[in-house]
Amino acid sequence: MRRGMQVNDVVAYIQAGRDRFVADLKEWLTIPSISGDPGRAADVRRSADWLADHLRAQGFPTVEIWETPGHPAVYAEWPADDPDAPTVVVYGHHDVQPVEPLDEWDTDPFDPVEESDRLIGRGTSDDKGQILFHTLGLRAGLAASGRQAPPVTVKVLVEGEEEAGSAHFAELLRARRERLACDAVVISDTTMWSADVPSMCTGMRGLTEAEVTLRGPSRDLHSGSFGGAVPNPLHAMADLLAALHDADGRVTVPGFYNDVIPLTDEERELFARLPFDEDEWLRTAGDSRAAHGERGHTTLERIWARPTAEVNGMWGGHTGPGGKTIVPAEAHAKISFRLVAAQDPSKIQMAFESWVAEHVPAGVEAEVRVPGGGVRPCFSPIDSPGVKAARRAMERAFGTEVLFTREGGSGPEADLADILEAPLIFVAVGLDDDRIHAPNEHVEIPRLLKGAEAAAYLWEELATALR
């Protein structure tokens, strides 16, 4: 008996299955499962049904539609043959972004078009293509190894509301927590550095927000009669927001960095090896004229692995045309904090509220409103067993070193980690160039097949690493 599957067998299986795989994906892509459009609810359900049928056809013994107060999710389970094998949840989503502006599409977004190796249409990269490579990979792994069941218990969870904010996802996870019990969660909804530089995401920043109102006089005052002799809430707001960062660009709220897991030397070194073109990045950053941020960190470290305080909006006094010489009654600001592991949104909220209270001058009253509980950051150390195993699978598929990235923004991933209490492993082959959320979304089919190949090796690698 063979001790493991051979690369050549997996590749051969995937190559042989290419046309069937593309045909299946194209069929699924014709369903306009736009979760944000109430008029497309039936299409989102059709998409769930299509996926459920597909998973059954691929051999999953258990396939279920999980209802939510919004759009349905799809759940499938394929138990390992070894009852002591670890269990892994694979997460993705079957809903897609809206397609406006339609006139900027070169093709019909829901009539997918193959142009040489490229597949164009809504959902090709985000996220239908990336879900489907898993079924091809799983079958390739089984075929190449001669197994009847995967070496880990695979639980597939594909939600239908990710592009609409995953409104009911945490609730679903909590309700189905026991069914979803697992040793790791594989996320297939992120991007690699580039087609030439395969990489794995290892973390996402969390978020918490606050709105600050400062109140001075009970009404706007004439600045001739009163200016220079009473506190001006706009001055107090400028002082407050200016004090939020020190000269090194660090957030001054006491304790803000207490729970931050610092970057390791190895992670910084691996980030630094990514072929990052800062000038090009500044162009994508709305032609920003300079990089700017926390001293002692590179741009990639700043956006991926360092927490921030960002003023998103600020207003008060006369903001219309012409002049109005007043001392205004109120000043307002909206502030958001991007958080990194292991910062806790509610601790940061409390620290910020205390800081505001201490920094408001005499004669000005401060109110801090916190809308909701925030989003927790998520993080997978690069030396954790799951990440190392997945990296080996990726490196076997791509035949080159796999580097690491993180993401600056936040999705439902932290809920998976928190509620299922399992480490996250990001295995995905999307690219920033795929124009996800934009007209002419596309993916290269060979890249999806590399994803299938990585997925084929993944279960074997994880079976050993997580045991």
CA separation for the pair 154, 81 (Å, rounded): 11
Under a CB-based contact definition with an 8 Å cutoff, are residues 134 and 128 in contact?
Answer: no
432, HSE (Cβ side, Cα atoms, 13 Å): 12
Closest distance to a copy of itself from the beta carbon of 287 (Å): 5
Please choose, from the candidates 90, 106, 112, the residue with its C-alpha nearest in 3D space to the C-alpha of residue 156: 90
C-beta closer to a copy of itself: residue 179 or 435: 435
Q: Is 406 in the site for a copy of itself (CB under 8 A)?
A: no
* Enclosing H/E stretch for 450: helix 445-465
Q: Looking at beta carbons only, is 115 or 365 nearer to a copy of itself?
A: 365
CA distance 312 to 332: 11
Give 263's DSSP letter.
P
Q: Which of residues 321-340 bind a copy of itself (CB under 8 A)?
A: 322-329, 331-334, 336, 338
Chosen residue from 117, 310, 383, 433 binding a copy of itself by CB under 8 A: 310
Find the shortest distance in angstroms from Cβ 199 to a copy of itself.
16
Looking at beta carbons only, is 129 or 377 nearer to a copy of itself? Answer: 377
Which residue from 83, 148, 229, 295 is in contact with a copy of itself, where contact means CB under 8 A? 229
Alpha helices in 412-444 (DSSP H): 413-420
Q: Which is nearer to a copy of itself, 25 or 207 (CB)?
A: 207
Interface with a copy of itself (CB under 8 A), residue from 42, 100, 315, 446: 315
Q: Which residues contact 105 (CB under 8 A, 6 or more apart)?
A: 99, 439, 440
Sign of CA dihedral 10, 12, 13, 18: positive
Question: Contact between 101 and a copy of itself (CB under 8 A)?
Answer: no
| C-alpha to C-alpha distance for 305 and 404, rounded to whole angstroms | 12
Residue 51 or 375 with smaller CB distance to a copy of itself = 375
Site residues (CB under 8 A) for a copy of itself, limited to 246-305? 282, 285-294, 299, 302-303
127-135, 195-203, 403-411, 452-460 -> range binding a copy of itself (CB under 8 A): 403-411
Question: Per-residue x/- mask for a copy of itself, residues 367 to 386, rule CB under 8 A?
Answer: ----x---------------
Distance CA 459, CA 390 (A): 9
Of 302 and 396, which CB lies nearer to a copy of itself in the complex structure?
302
162-201 residues near a copy of itself, rule: CB under 8 A: none
* Residue of 152, 171, 162 lying closest to 131 (CA atoms): 162
Written as one letter, the residue type at 172 is: L
Among 106, 111, 365, 418, binds a copy of itself (CB under 8 A): 365
Query: Closest separation between CB of residue 126 and a copy of itself, Å?
Result: 15
CA atoms of 88 and 46, how far apart (whole Å)? 26
Tell me the backbone φ, ψ of residue 301, rounded to 5 degrees: -65, -40
For residue 385, whether the previous peptide bond is cis, meaning omega lies within 30 degrees of 0, is no
Q: Let me know if 313 is exposed, middle or buried by CB neighbors in 10 A (0-12, 13-18, 19+).
A: exposed
Per CB under 8 A, 61 contacts a copy of itself: no
Listed ranges 42-50, 167-175, 237-245, 341-349: which one lies at the site for a copy of itself (CB under 8 A):
237-245
Q: How many residues bind a copy of itself (CB under 8 A)?
A: 82
Closest to 456 measured CA to CA, from 389, 386, 397: 397
Tokens 């290892």 correspond to what residue? 202
**Least Cβ distance, residue 266 to a copy of itself (angstroms):** 22
The residue among 156 and 234 lying less far from a copy of itself, judged by its C-beta, is: 234
Applying CB under 8 A, among 8, 116, 148, 218 the residue interacting with a copy of itself is 218
Query: In this structure, how many other beta carbons lie within 10 angstroms of the beta carbon of residue 183?
Result: 20
DSSP 8-class letter at 24: H
**Phi and psi for 275 in degrees, rounded to 5?**
-75, 80
Of residues 207, 356, 387, 431, which one binds a copy of itself by CB under 8 A? 207
Spatial CA neighbour of 279 closest among 294, 291, 295, 292: 291
Region of 8-16, 156-164, 167-175, 223-231 interacting with a copy of itself (CB under 8 A): 223-231
Among 152, 364, 427, 431, binds a copy of itself (CB under 8 A): 364
Between residues 59 and 317, which has the closer beta carbon with respect to a copy of itself?
317
Would you count residue 308 as binding a copy of itself (CB under 8 A)? yes
Residue nearer to a copy of itself on the CB measure, 238 or 342: 238
